[in-house]
Structure 1
Amino acid sequence: MKAGMRALFSVLMLIGFFVLVLVEFLASVAFAVWLITVGPAALAVKVTAPLFVAIVGGVGWALWQAVRFKNEPMPGVVVTPDQAPQLWAEVRRLAEGVGTRAPDELRIVPEVNAAVSEHSRLLGLIPGRRYLYVGLPVLQALNVDQLRAVLAHELGHYSEAHLRLGAVAYRGRIAMEGAIGRIGKWNVAGWPIRLYARAYLLVDNAVSRRQELEADAASVRLAGRQAAVAALTEIAVVDMAYAFYLNRYVGPGAELGMLPDNVFAGFGEMLAAREEEIARLRPEAAKRETGSRWNTHPPLAVRIAAINALPEGMPSNDRRRATDLIPDLPTMSGHLHRLSVRTEGRQVLPWPQFTAATASRRLQETADNIFRELARQMNRPVVGLYEVMDAMAAGRAGELGEAFYENATRKEAAAKFADVLELLLMLAAVRSDRATWQASWTDSAELLGLDGKPLDLAPIAQLAVVPATTALAVDQLRELGIEITAAVVVEATATARGGDVIAGLGNVSFDGGEADLLVLDNGLIAVPTKGDKNEGTKRMKAMMASMPVAKIAEMNRFVPYEEVRKVTIVKQVPIRATIELHDGRSIELKESWTGDELHKKSREVLHEVFAQFTGQ
């Protein structure tokens, strides 16, 4: 069956959905009338009210939302034919090749994706304005041959009329998903609707997978099998590379309230610097995807096999970078950054300064963690490098080192503590303005001395942990212009910044108060429930979606794991535990039998966390 016929069948199933709802409504009315004739009216109302709420309230609201939905173009930077004549020439030639009308507008978007849309009217009978979207990360990674394959694929969706009924189908999805979301899972009226919706999604997803294979065939005809396979593989690899890039180079600074002045500019540089690593990902790309009947796209391996089974098309040998087709790419990249990246409340810096500031602040965070642990060991409210060096001179390196190397002897811990101390010396060098950071797209930023050479402070740290040579270490630091008083703690109390939620328990008793407990990988957040003992899972998910984890911790009680000395498990299920802190305080945690979990293994995850402090 051609994808167009499948799409029509999908729309007919949408009509069937609303017929089903109408039948349910009429059946509910008939049932209510019958109940009134055989019993009290109050009973009829009580029994049938949930049915009418589900059908009228749930489905009606969802349908209204679907009708009101506006099909707006994806946000992106518009590229006119005057700005990129070569790119537009390719688009028009390929549109003619697949036998369809060229798009009216071309936009560069921030996602690792390429797509088309048509804002048609009257159920797709009247053609509308066409849009072609190409992700800037895709342009940065592909060559012209591969870009032709991508564009031919997307334009192939036009030629096969895949978008003709797309708007109707999309609104139908909104209506179904909205109805299911608003009807309780125990409401009898929702059971047939849920079953029908699952059947519809199976059909609609099968339609989508078939459409992708048909569009791949257009790609082969106009760009050749090799370019089509390479383009699919490259996009899968770029998706992984872009996620790595954001997590490794942008995310750490963003967590600290900073952003580079152009997020997209650095990605192209990283691709070039890590070319060998990226090449090693290509053979593995197809193996990473697993097929499912719920997916809208076939697995990459299936698509590649289908492409290789097609007759050869019209390959070319254009190895130019795809970005060569856009003359003023830096300006366009800057426009996209300003359009798509939210910078409100963040410090925006050029890439070199952004890298340096990020490295310095992360070093400070690491040093703060060390300083807080040393303060606990030394039984002092706050310590800095000056106090630590005093402790070294007094022969306490082994004692302090035991906090970081539990299984080492005191003598071994003293020697190993030099590694910890080196980080504090690096902070002193940065804060004394005697060191700078050199960015790298293949490794971490490297600390350089003012002479431009790597600053190696390990020998001085090794001198410092030996009482007889601590003073010599201080003298050597002074000769380098490094003041030990410059390295001090900034955050004397740990924060949740950088933490991820790994579990959650709703409606627990935490230190005598009712709360939802979010379990992070670096601490616990207790959010008061104000007496609301229902919908704990829903409440926790809504809270996590509404603000960053660090903000939730700021607004509620946060207990970092570094402040926990011991956990005593009184009962496994439901959890009863006593959390003892280093400052002598204790927190009682009690889970109720009727409490909710953020996910099915939340209790198990919390037990794993507590096991670190129980010796289990």
Structure 2
Amino acid sequence: MSTTLRAAVSVAMLVGFYVLGLLQLALVGWLLYEIWTHMHGAGAAKLSWLLLAAVGAVLAGLWRAIRTKPSEPDGLLITPEQAPELWATVRELATAAGTRAPDEIRLEPMVNAAVSEDARLLGLLGGTRRLYLGMPLLQTFTVDQLRAVLGHELGHYSGSHTRLGAIAYRGRLAMYETLSRVGRYNVFGWVFKGYGRLYRLVSNAVGRRQEFEADEVAVRVAGADAAVGVMRELPVATFAWNFYFGQYVAQGVELGYAPDDIFGGFGQMHAARTEALAGLRDIEPDDETSVWDTHPALGDRITAIRALPPVQHTADERPATILLPNVDELGRALQAEAFDFGDRPVLPWAEFTAASITAARQRGADRIFRSTARLLGVQEAGLAEILDLAADGKLGKLAAEFFPDATRKEAALAFADPMDDLITLAAVHSGVVGYQHSWSGPAQLVGRDGQPADFTEIAKLAVVPESVAEARARLGTLGIQIEAARVVESRATAGGSDVIGAMANVRVNDQETDLIMLDRGFVFVPAPKGTDDGEKRLKEMLSNNDPATLAQIYRYLPYEEVTGARVLKPVPINAEVDLHDGSTVRIKARWTGEELGKSQDTLEKILNRLNERAGR
């Protein structure tokens, strides 16, 4: 089946999705007529209501999709005056591909390239064309590789792949909206779900064929070597960007800071880790794919590219950023367009790194300080109180909470690692050491002389009663003020937490509740009494809110405040949780309650772990 014919079938199936909704509406109308013709009273009314509710969920999704328009284009608009060489290259390649050049070029904050077209009259008339280029892609590719990417994307234009984009968008939206509103027991929804799976099979097959066709254009305008180079470089660039964002950006932003130049930082890190990334290019791309994939496997695309007739092409190994003469300025403009950092302080990279690591270390220390305060029965505590516990031979009681599988004596000795962190925090706050930013490796802890600092030996002395005094003396000699390390957050928060489970309509102290399980605690969200749409409600809540926000709005119970837990009944789970303040939280699941994944099993594991920790 040709790509054009496949696309036509795909569009026909989209039309069929709407027709299916109308047929179901007609069926319900006929059933209502039959019901009221042969039945009367409460029975007929109840049956009619069930039918209307079932088909209503389907029609509501269709109606919302019909009324919804594609969102406004995002990304940073790049004019020909800002990037004349890039625009000239795009227009040259559009001519070579036999198609009209895009009307807009927009930069995006991701490793990606794409095209769109606001076509009209079911794709018969062309409209505004947009080319989207990811800034990280421009920062890692050569000119040749970028030409191959551009040729591929322009190939989607020359193959008329974008003409039906708006129709496909609305069709996918209709399916999503409809299926998201249909409960698992809605018979009308079963028909749509089966139809949706069939549509995905056809649509994805069309998409995979179109990718091969666009690759042929890439080879024609840039050569096979450049096209294959793109296939090998894409996974590397994606890995580098994800690594960079995870290791350098995300934690600091989550802790309340923002870097002043995200894309400039990525370019520097990529350059500093060139050798480390080189090995990834030697890994053979995956050649496995699925009928559910929208793109062919990279290995299959490389094989197809190598089978094409050779094309003579003069190599251009210059960095692709040569086509963006003001790349640093554009990177900062894209950051302002793409990222909303709110009121976070915007810091240069060296300060951002130091502030982020210090804040992360303080958060970890606060967890220990809060436990210390509870153990001592005081409002707040710090390193000084922990050293006092160690000197009195009572550190094991505190340490057992953090090393539940060890005896108290073993736990006290194992506490040397957390003690090292606490001493480091005191040293940072005392101005004795600081964190040195690096693009080629982790940030280093260095002293005022720029040499690496290490407090491991002092930490080992500080966990043994007989040598605590010596540890204090050494800290004093170094100018480290023990009192500088104290609690900042005396009440635990959910900042940085991940969701590990969620259950709808759980009875918590006899109140109807949606239970959100984080890796650091429970969030109790008031819930309606009805158990319908519980799973949908959980998904919407978690997709629209991060865990820290939910913990601020609703009751948050950190695991660190738990002194014991008992599972009274495993299915549906019925349990009690004892807290440090002497109160007890009763958690009782319902047979009809919905959950995400196997959250009830997750809850049982959490409770058993809390019980084991309390028994130490």
- TM-score of the superposed pair, with normalisation by structure 1: 0.92
Distance in 1, Cα, partners of 2:511 & 2:580: 21
Instruction: Please name the residue that 1:349 is paired with.
Output: 347
Give the counterpart letter for 1:171 in structure 2: R
SS of equivalent to 1:430: helix
CA distance in 2, matches of 1:335, 1:404: 45
Report what 1:9 is aligned to. Answer: 9
Counterpart residue type for residue 364 of structure 2: T
| Contact 1:124/1:164 (8 A) holds in 2 | yes
**1:177, distance to aligned residue in structure 2 (A):** 2.7
Q: What is the correspondence of 1:146-295 to structure 2 with a 5 Å cutoff?
A: 146-284=145-283, 286-287=285-286, 291-295=289-293
Matched, 1:612 2:609: yes
- Other structure's SS at 1:126 match: coil
Q: What amino acid does structure 2 have at the position aligned with 1:564? A: V
Q: CA deviation at 1:260?
A: 1.0
Structure 2 counterparts to residues 31-42 of structure 1, below 5 A: 31-40=31-40
Q: Which moved more, 1:485-494 or 1:65-74?
A: 65-74
Alignment map for 1:466-477 (pairs within 5 Å): 466-477=464-475
Contact 1:227 1:315 survives alignment (8 Å):
no
Measured in 1, the distance between the counterparts of 2:237 and 2:24 equals 48
Contact 1:270 1:441 in 2 (8 A): yes
Name the counterpart of 1:448: 446
Partner of 1:18: 18
CA distance, structure 2, for counterparts of residue 12 and residue 418 of structure 1? 68
**Against the structure 1 CA distance between its residues 290 and 346, is the aligned structure 2 distance closer, same or farther, given a 3 Å change threshold?**
farther
- State the SS of the aligned residue for 2:341: coil
5 Å matches for 1:513-528? 513-528=511-526
Greater CA drift, 393-402 or 501-510: 393-402
Which residue of structure 1 aligns with residue 78 of structure 2?
A: 79
Q: Is the 8 A contact 1:206 1:293 kept in 2?
A: yes
In 2: Cα distance, 1:100 partner to 1:382 partner: 69
Partner Cα separation in structure 2 for residue 426 and residue 35 of structure 1: 77
Moved more, 558-567 or 190-199: 190-199
Paired with 2:24 and 2:410, the residues of 1 have a C-alpha distance of 75
Instruction: Tell me the distance in 1 between the aligned counterparts of 2:550 and 2:584.
Output: 22
Instruction: Note the residue ranges of structure 1 that are not aligned, 5 or more in a row.
Output: none
Deviation at 1:614?
A: 3.7
Deviations 1:297-317 (A, max 9, x none): 122222222222222234432
Aligned residue type for 2:319: R
- The AA in structure 2 aligned to 1:604 is D
Contact 1:507 1:514 in 2 (8 A): yes
1:87-134 CA deviation, whole Å, 9 max, x = no partner?
Answer: 222212211111111111111111221011111222222221211110
Change (3 A) 1:312 1:406: same
Identify if the C-alpha distance between structure 1 residues 390 and 120 changes in structure 2 by more than 3 Å, giving closer, same or farther: same
- For 1:409 and 1:66, how far apart are their aligned partners in 2? 61
Structure 1 residues 352 and 401: alpha-carbon distance in aligned structure 2, compared to 1, 3 A threshold: same
The residue type equivalent to 1:478 in the other structure is G
Matched residue type, 1:21:
G
Of all paired residues, the percent bearing the same amino acid is 47
Aligned mates of 2:409, 2:36 — CA distance in 1: 87
* Amino acid aligned to 1:112: V
Q: 1:613 Cα deviation (Å)? A: 3.0
How far is the alpha carbon of 1:77 from its aligned partner? 1.6
What's the CA shift string for 1:146-165, capped at 9, x where partnerless? 11111110000011111122
- The 2-side partners of 1:184 and 1:408 are apart by 48
Over 3 Å counting, the alpha-carbon distance change for 1:182 and 1:366 in structure 2 is closer
User: Which AA in structure 2 matches 1:239?
Assistant: T
Assess, with a 3 A threshold, how the Cα gap between structure 1 residues 400 and 35 changes in structure 2: closer, same or farther.
closer
- 1:435/1:450 contact within 8 Å kept: yes
Alignment of 1:491-530 (within 5 A): 491-529=489-527
Deviation at 1:484, TM superposition (A): 0.9
Q: 1:326 to 1:475 in 2, by over 3 A?
A: same
Alignment partner of 1:371 out of 369, 372, 384 = 369
Q: 1:396 to 1:262 in 2, by over 3 A?
A: same
The alignment yields a C-alpha RMSD, in angstroms, of: 2.6
Bigger shift: residues 331-340 or 312-321: 312-321
1:104 aligns with 2:78: no
Question: Shift of the alpha carbon at 1:36?
Answer: 4.4
Give the superposition deviation at 1:41: 8.5
- Separation (CA, whole Å) in 1 of partners of 2:465 and 2:84: 72
Letter in 2 for 1:7: A
Q: For each residue in 1:307-346, what CA deviation from the matched residue of structure 2 results, as whole angstroms up to 9, or x when unmatched?
A: 2222223443211111121000010001100001012232
Q: 1:386 to 1:49 in 2, by over 3 A?
A: closer
Q: Is the 8 A contact 2:58 2:188 kept in 1?
A: no
- Select between 21-30 and 487-496 the one with higher mean Cα deviation: 21-30
- Give the match's secondary structure for 1:514: strand
Report the alpha carbon displacement of residue 468 of structure 1 after superposing the two structures with TM: 4.6
Cα pair 1:220 1:314 within 8 Å, conserved: no
Unaligned runs of 5+ residues in structure 2 are none
Other-structure match for 2:141: 142
Deviations 1:178-211 (CA, angstroms, capped at 9, x unpaired): 2333344434434433333322222111111111
Query: How much has 1:71 moved relative to structure 2?
Result: 4.0
Asked whether the equivalents of residues 225 and 312 of structure 1 are also in contact (C-alpha less than 8 Å), the reply is yes
Which of 459, 462, 467 lines up with 1:461 in the alignment?
Answer: 459
Q: CA deviation at 1:503?
A: 0.9
Three-state SS of the structure 2 residue aligned to 1:332 is helix
What TM-score, normalized to structure 2?
0.92
Q: Which moved more, 1:72-81 or 1:30-39?
A: 30-39
**Residues 447-481 of structure 1: CA deviation (Å, up to 9, x unaligned):** 21111111222233333344454334333323322
Cα deviation for residue 445 of structure 1 reads 2.1
Q: Distance in 1 between matches of 2:359 and 2:144?
A: 43
Conserved in 2, the CA contact under 8 Å of 1:269 and 1:441?
Answer: yes
Q: For 2:176 and 2:402, how far apart are their aligned partners in 1? A: 51
DSSP-derived class of the 2:495 partner: coil
Asked if 2 retains the 8 angstrom alpha-carbon contact of 1:3 and 1:210, the reply is yes
Separation in 1 of the partners of 2:75 and 2:387? 55
Shift of the 33–410 alpha-carbon distance from structure 1 to 2, 3 Å rule, reads: closer
**Aligned residue type for 2:150:** L
Aligned residues: 613
SS of residue paired to 2:586: strand
- Could you tell me how far apart the structure 1 residues matched to 2:548 and 2:288 are? 34
The structural deviation recorded for 1:405 is 4.0
SS of the equivalent of 1:120 reads: coil
**Cα pair distance change 1:254/1:176, threshold 3 Å:** same
455-464 or 565-574, which deviates more: 455-464
Q: Which amino acid aligns with 2:446?
A: L
Q: Distance in 1 between matches of 2:271 and 2:403?
A: 40
| Equivalence for 2:554 | 556
Q: How many Å separate the matches in 2 of 1:169 and 1:83?
A: 33
Deviation for aligned residue 1:441: 2.8
CA–CA distance in structure 2, aligned partners of residues 540 and 399 of structure 1: 39
Contact 1:8 1:165 in 2 (8 A): no
Match of 1:304 in 2: 302
CA 1:596–1:23 in 2, change beyond 3 Å: closer, same or farther? closer
Instruction: Spell out, residue by residue over 1:576-599, the C-alpha distance to the aligned partner (whole angstroms, 9 max, x if none).
Output: 222233444332222222222122
